[in-house]
Structure 1
């Protein structure tokens, strides 16, 4: 009975102390943290993830727009390479609006996308964390590569 109790105590201790609790920093004022946790799939090496950023912007109904974010800075909870997260420190971005033909003067809210998406490796084990301004949304889509290359002649 003592052996069983010691064994259970040992297993419980290993489990309790083996779970490393990671606490990421709180976002600064005017910013939010967005976590991307990808589902498990077979052959993850055949996939890439495109991360893009969007926001609502008021413009004329015939206009199209995009915006450019500053570069993300990669930071680590445990330098040099453990627990990375990605941060935009500044809430400044440039919105570019294009117009085709003549427009009415009616203004509408439209969703516009960043002109600089990010491509990352597919990894269902790791959670990708982004710190972005509150008015910016983080979206992603999954790309699948063909299993073979086409030779150029």
Structure 2
């Protein structure tokens, strides 16, 4: 029993606590971009979850829809094997060009960046580190798949 306690105490000493220290392996900035960190809670069956990154910025906009496109590049911390992501600079996307109703007042709204590559695997063991251009906010949401499968039918 005493040996078991010693082994457990040794194991806890070897495991680095999660927190600011787990960011030491990651660069403070990449290509002049700001580091954003997301810490995900532990969940059962992580393979049922995905994280959607929602970068964007607050802008004064009219009644037309607008968005930006940005790609995300997956990189690895040399010597550590940890994954981090670098968001490209935003490129203006398509916008509607309709005339706004008379008296329409512009509003401040979060204009998001879109790209299919912004869906990432869920991993609560390490922080999700993303480097974003200056002036860009990073929001996120977690997607969960249903436990049940539906069957396709042949017709």
TM-score if structure 2 supplies the norm length? Answer: 0.72
Residues of 2 paired with 1:28 and 1:76: CA distance? 12
Pairing of 1:51-130 with structure 2 (within 5 A): 51-60=53-62, 62-69=63-70, 71-78=71-78, 82-88=81-87, 91-104=89-102, 106-116=105-115, 118-130=118-130
Contact 1:52–1:113 (CA under 8 A) maintained in structure 2:
yes
User: Which protein is richer in strand relative to its size?
Assistant: 1
Deviations 1:86-121 (A, max 9, x none): 113x53422433244534464333211112152122
Q: Compare CA radii of gyration and give the structure with the larger one.
A: 1
Deviations 1:41-71 (A, max 9, x none): 22222222212212112322x12211101x2
Structure 2: gaps spanning 5 or more residues: 1-5
For the structure 1 residues 57 and 26, does the alpha-carbon distance in structure 2 shift closer, same or farther, using more than 3 Å as the test? Answer: same
TM-score if structure 1 supplies the norm length? Answer: 0.72
In the alignment, structure 1 residue 131 sits paired with structure 2 residue 131: yes
Q: Which of structure 1's runs of 4+ aligned residues deviate more than 3 A?
A: 18-22, 99-108
- Count residues in correspondence: 139
Structure 1: gaps spanning 5 or more residues: 1-6
Shift of 1:24: 1.6
Contact 1:32–1:133 (CA under 8 A) maintained in structure 2:
yes
Residues of 2 paired with 1:54 and 1:84: CA distance? 22
Residues of 1 paired with 2:66 and 2:48: CA distance? 32
Contact 1:52–1:116 (CA under 8 A) maintained in structure 2:
no
